[in-house]
Each structure stands twice: as structure tokens, then as C-alpha cells.
Amino acid sequence: MKNILLIILISVSTSSFSQVKIDTSEIKSIRYEWKLNTKKNDSTLNQILTEYKSGIYKEEFPDFKKEHHEYPFINIFESKTDYLNRKVKQTLKVHYYSALGGESKFYYDKYGNLDSIYQNYYKDSLKEWKYKIKKEYRRKGKLKYLINKFDEKEVYHYNFFGNLKKVELYKDSVLYEISNYKKGLLISEVYPTRKKYRKKFTYDYDKKGRIIKRDDSDYDLYLYEYNKFGLSKIEKIFKSKNMVVEYTLFIYDKNGILKRKKEFARNDKLRDEFVYEYK
């Protein structure tokens, strides 16, 4: 595509919102995910994932839109890590999202931090919601604090070298959550005031910075395996019995292209299977 295409995410003439443009001038690849139905010997187009050379992804779910849904399911985002690892927190930077009866649009400032949010929802009538993120910076664009859309205060701490070390989350002036970072990666979450269940959850990574263990649930933990092409397996384990309750396999061809995904339930029962085509 030689012509420069720009997706205008937000165009609202107020002091809080400005026009944001996302560069979709060059497509890197388009991936089609087909969900198989072995009983009916049929398949359904489940997802279309367009990747742009600018680092932007556009995710569409064609089968999601029903007659009573005003909006199709579309997600436009950036991913800092392997797209398949998207379930790990803080890996996606969403710019636009629509589903069912509404849409959400997100602004980011020059430092890449969330600046404003616009949402609308259609049911009996149009409902609009606009929010300007309140924040203060230190020198060199380092966040000092940020008031998120839930009116919670996020306070940022850095080490001697200026790298993010810790984020404290306050709810009604009470310290509710502490997120600890190392080399730009989230390594633990601590909940000081939590009275039930666990107060601390952890994340482990390999030498390449890829998630290998995610423990952010009272009941389940996730283990990740990789091969030379990328993510190859995700296991969900029930903690109390140390038992694998479900797992997903990713299958690549000899050129490292993802060709198939299989999702298994307990007792190795195949639950869902997907095949991929590319353009």
C-alpha cells in the first residue's frame, strides 16, 4: 500500500481531547484464524489480525457481530511482547476498542502514557463518557503520579539509574497494591490490605524477557514454554492439587509460521482447534 492511511481515533474539539493518528500505511501481514468444527467437518472465520509495519495491530472478530449488536468487535493496539502472550498484564497498549453497543478511544501523551479516554454506549439513547487523566511528571518524562479512570492514585518510584522500580496504587488514600519491576518487567504484585487469600503474586521470565510463569490468581497459575519459533505451550494448573486443568499448543511450520492452535481441557480432551492462513 503506497498511500498513507491514517485511522483517526478521536476528533473532539475540547481542551482535553485532541486528534490522534495511527499510521497504517504499510501492512506487514494479515492473519486469518479459522475455528474448526470436526463434527460438522466445517470451519468458521473467527479472527482477522492485521499487523502493520508501524507496530500497530488491528484485531477483528467477524463472527462476533450479531443483528442486535451496533458495533463489530474491533481492537486496535500495540504489543510490547509476543502477541500470543497478550494475557499477561501490561503487554497491550490499546488505542481503539468497539464491541456490542459502544466503543472506547484512548489518547496517549508524548511520553506514551495514557492521557484521555472517550467512550460512548448505545442502548435506548447515546451515553458519552469523557475522562482526562490527571498526572504529574518528574524530570526527563518520568511519571511522578497518575490518577486513573477509577480515581485511584498511582505513585511511581525509580531506582538510581532512572528505571521503574515500583508503582504504588492508592484507593481512598489507602495503599491497596504495590507492583514491583525489574529491568522493565513486572515481577510481583503485593496487596497489603487484603484480608482473604494470598497477598502476593509473582511473574517469572527467561533470559530473553519472555514470561515463563504467571501466578496472579488465588487458585490457578500458568506455565509457558517456547521453541525456536516462539510460544509453544501454555499450561493452566490448579494450585490445590498441582494438576493441569487445561493447556494450549501452538504449532509452526518449518519457516516458523504459526499454522495451528489446539486448546485442550482436562484429561487431554480437545476443546477447540484453530488453523491459520496468511495474506
List the end-to-end C-alpha distance of the chain, in Å, as a whole number.
Answer: 13
Kindly state the helix (H) or strand (E) to which residue 239 belongs, with its residue range: none
Give the whole-angstrom CA distance, residue 107 versus residue 185.
23
Question: Scanning the structure block, which residue is given the C-alpha cell 489446539?
Answer: 262
pTM over 0.95: no
Kindly state the helix (H) or strand (E) to which residue 256 belongs, with its residue range: none
Give the whole-angstrom CA distance, residue 264 versus residue 270.
4
For domain 217-279, which architecture applies?
Beta Barrel (2.40)
For residue 111, give the 3-state DSSP assignment: coil
What tens-digit pLDDT sequence spans the chain (279 residues)? 444 444 444 444 344 555 557 788 999 999 999 999 878 889 999 999 999 999 899 999 987 766 666 788 999 998 876 666 666 666 788 999 998 888 999 999 888 899 999 999 877 667 899 999 999 999 889 999 999 989 999 999 999 999 999 999 999 999 999 999 999 899 999 999 999 889 999 999 999 988 999 999 999 999 999 999 999 999 999 998 999 999 999 999 999 999 999 999 988 999 999 999 999
Check if the beta carbon of residue 80 is closer than 8 Å to that of residue 88: no
**Exposure b/e, 225-246, CB count within 10 A at least 16 = b:** ebeeeebbebbbbeeeeeeeeb
Give the whole-angstrom CA distance, residue 177 versus residue 150.
14
Query: Which residue type does 205 have?
Result: Y
Check if the beta carbon of residue 92 is closer than 8 Å to that of residue 38: no
Residue 228, C-alpha cell as written in the block: 525456536
Taken as a whole, the chain contains a residue count of 279
**How many CB atoms within 10 Å of residue 65?**
17
pLDDT tens digits, one per residue of 128-138:
999 999 999 99
